[in-house]
Amino acid sequence: MDIILLGPPGAGKGTQAQRLEQRHGMRQLSTGDMLRGAVRAGTPVGLKAKAVMDRGELVSDEIVSELIDAELTAMGDDVGAIFDGYPRTAAQASALDEILARHGRSLDHVIELVVDEDALVERITGRFTCANCGAGYHDSFKQPARPGVCDECGATEFKRRPDDNEETVRTRMVEYRAKTAPILPIYEERGIVSRVDGMQAIDEVTGNIDAILA
């Protein structure tokens, strides 16, 4: 089963994708995580992407579609994919159709996380992750059970994203409204869009997504 999680920055795409990986044995394919990995590694893609990401704008369609294609090639055909933060433009949506067809795969669900944009700035500016395993946390909504110690791996180093400041978040939201929200009708025509209230507690959002996938 292959699904897209769609929603503005801070909607909870990454949070829910990590849970789906654990519950359903699927694989999270986050273009944001891949790009941040490329920036850290100092690859040519990372060098190109860094300034664009720091401004909150979109990296080129070709770069992200190539990243997704490579991940699907490396991944088993029997493992379901959770597309997190991809596609983000009409050009990426058609590239994904072509890539999936080439891999003999198809989309089962597009799940839109519907959220109140005013709450998102707080979510994003409070977010931090484990520097070792990437588990996600939040200053107010999801602290580790033992302060300063990752629940998943016991590491004690955490990090914050450079694009998680208010000004960049505003630009990311403008990009979402202008370029990403308009791709929803493509999937609505295919009858595969479901909406989930992303303002509920994290567990409730997961419950609603589980019900859609069942």
15 binds, options Zn ion, Mg ion, ligand AP5, none, Cβ within 5 to 8 A by partner type: ligand AP5
Find the binding residues for Mg ion in span 7-26 (CB under 5 A). 14
Residues 6+ apart with CB under 8 A from 202: 12, 15, 16, 141, 142
Our answer to whether residue 170 is catalytic in this structure is no
Catalytic residue among 27, 50, 123, 127: 127
157 phi-psi bin (left φ>0, alpha ψ -120 to 50, beta other): beta
Which residue's structure tokens are 């997961």?
206
Q: Is 144 in the site for ligand AP5 (CB under 6 A)?
A: no
Catalytic residue among 55, 105, 161, 170: 161
In whole angstroms, give the CA distance from residue 75 to residue 80.
Answer: 9
In whole angstroms, give the CA distance from residue 26 to residue 1.
Answer: 8
In what helix (H) or strand (E) does residue 137 lie, and over which residues does it extend? Answer: strand 136-138
Q: Is 92 in the site for ligand AP5 (CB under 6 A)?
A: yes
Q: Is 172 in the site for ligand AP5 (CB under 6 A)?
A: yes
Our answer to whether residue 102 is catalytic in this structure is no
In whole angstroms, give the CA distance from residue 163 to residue 168.
Answer: 6
Catalytic residue among 13, 19, 36, 50: 13
Q: Residue of minimal CB distance from Mg ion?
A: 14
In what helix (H) or strand (E) does residue 130 lie, and over which residues does it extend? Answer: strand 127-130
Which residue number, 2 or 163, has a Cβ lying nearer to Mg ion? Answer: 163
In whole angstroms, give the CA distance from residue 43 to residue 131.
Answer: 20
Which residue number, 114 or 153, has a Cβ lying nearer to Zn ion? Answer: 153
**Which positions are catalytic?**
13, 88, 127, 161, 172
> Which stretches of the chain bind ligand AP5, using CB under 6 A?
7, 9-15, 31-32, 35, 52-53, 56-59, 64, 85-86, 88, 92, 123-124, 127, 136, 138, 141-142, 172, 198, 200-202, 205
> Which stretches of the chain bind Mg ion, using CB under 5 A?
14
